Structure 1
Amino acid sequence: MIKILLVDDHPIVREGIIKILHRQPDIETVIEAETSKEALSHLKTSQFNVVILDISLPDKNGLLTLEQIKHDYPGLPVLILSMYTEEEYAIQSLKLGASGYLTKKALPDELLKAIQKIAAGGKYITATLAEKLACELDRKSDKPLYKYLTNREFHVMEMIVAGRTPKEIAELLTLSVRTINTYRSNIMEKLQLRNNAELVRYAIENKLFDK
């Protein structure tokens, strides 16, 4: 029987997911958590077969929570179930140890299929994500990573390195701050960097914006 820890801060979303999960006869229990702190507390006192984890949590980013879960419980499968598209966070989640990634637009049967697979020790990725991963593996090691940035990503990177804030960049490009943050996330993922300081150093070392 499968025991699940469901981590999401929206009661309506949790209620809907629980109704879906109860369709599966071998799902024994679903324990709910609204925050990262509450989820980690449940993990200390109970054993689970699968964690379903949202990225947007009120107290701590879901990816940081994922990283901590995989550090403390390396064998525990985690399925990321998020409102964010695969392009935004999927590969990053898998690199941090997630066993699967689904958006909240997924069909109920796909969610159940994903849980069954990762509970059995497998990985669950969609066809779209599999193609994206294949492209990652096909990259030639002798090609500089920045060459994989799109023109827009490269432009956003240039402005970040120049010290502009996401709000300033959004205004200049007539885009939302969230879109700019998505571009930044993609840049960091493609360049395998963690923060703006590393991004600036990377740009200097590769002489990307020398005048």
Structure 2
Amino acid sequence: MIKVLIADDHAIVREGLRQLFALCPDLGVAGEAVNGGQVLSHLRGGEVDLLLLDMAMSGISGVDLIKRVRLHHGALPVLVLSMHNEVQIARRALAAGANGYLTKDCGAETLTTAIRKVASGGRYIDPRIVERMVFEGDDEQAPPHEQLSSREQRILGLLGQGRTVNEIAAELSISNKTVSTHKARLMQKMSFANNAELMRYVFTHDVMG
């Protein structure tokens, strides 16, 4: 049986996945996590064959979490199940060490097929994203925020959600000063004159927080 750690902060998603896996004799739930800290705790203490990972959770998440998992659990298959279908986000997840990438609007059969393939050492990418990668290729114009570091992108997304510096510091477990430094740096890199420009950019480009 493939023991899957479900990492998603939406209870309805986790419940749906549990019900789906209950219909598959070869798939089981090794545990559930609602944030990056719980993911790492589960991986330290339990037997997991595959991590099914949402890209946007509280605390360490996304690319940063994938890199952390890859550093400490190098052989563990990681399949991203995300609401984001942007090619650049998929590329960053795969570059960080994910073995596969699916969007949450995929069908149940597609998901179970991807889990089995990734768990057996293969790779699986949402066919729609692969198609865009092939046809858009290197000519695709990357959005300006791709020049930011992973941490700066995360803070940009959280600021765009209206989070305060104090709230971001608490969520990411870093100091207020560090958040302020990152904010100042990304404002400069992105040539934002004020918070209104930042908020407008995040809304327009659907930057993940």
Whether TM exceeds 0.5 here: the answer is yes
Question: What is the CA deviation profile of residues 111-140 of structure 1, one whole-angstrom value per residue up to 9, with x for unaligned ones?
Answer: 10110100110000122322344458x64x
Name the counterpart of 1:80.
Answer: 80
Show the counterpart of 1:71. 71
Cα shift readout 1:122-169 (whole Å, capped 9, x = no counterpart): 000122322344458x64xxxxxxx7527xx47x98x96462168543
Question: Identity across aligned pairs (percent)?
Answer: 32
Whole-Å Cα distance in 1 between the matches of residues 190 and 62 of structure 2? 29
1:141-180 maps to which residues of 2 (within 5 A)?
Answer: 148-149=140-141, 153=143, 161=189, 163-164=191-192, 167-169=195-197, 177-180=202-205
Measured in 2, the distance between the counterparts of 1:62 and 1:169 equals 24
Q: Measured at CA, do residues 177 and 39 of structure 1 come closer, stay the same or move farther in structure 2, by a change above 3 Å?
A: same
SS of alignment partner, residue 93 of structure 2: helix
**How many aligned positions are there?**
169
Provide the C-alpha distance between the structure 2 equivalents of 1:82 and 1:162, rounded to a whole number of angstroms: 26
Which residue does 1:126 correspond to in 2?
Answer: 126
Whether the 8 Å CA contact 1:166–1:181 is kept in 2: the answer is no
Which amino acid in the other structure matches residue 141 of structure 2?
L
Q: Which has the larger radius of gyration?
A: 1
Q: Runs of 5+ in structure 2 lacking a partner?
A: 148-186
- List structure 1 runs of 4+ shifted beyond 4 angstroms: 159-162
Q: In 2 relative to 1, CA 168–88 (structure 1 residues): closer, same or farther, beyond 3 Å?
A: farther
Which AA in structure 1 matches 2:22? H
- Asked if the contact 1:83–1:104 (Cα under 8 Å) also holds between the matched residues in 2, the reply is yes
TM-score, normalised relative to structure 2: 0.69
- Rounded to whole Å, the distance in 2 between the matches of 1:12 and 1:121 is 29
Matches within 5 A, 1:90-105: 90-105=90-105
Tell me how far 1:38 sits from its aligned partner: 0.8
Structure 1 unaligned runs (5+)? 140-146, 185-211
Cα distance in structure 2, aligned partners of 1:53 and 1:180: 22
Q: Secondary structure at the match of 2:102?
A: strand
Q: What SS class does the counterpart of residue 48 from structure 1 fall into?
A: coil
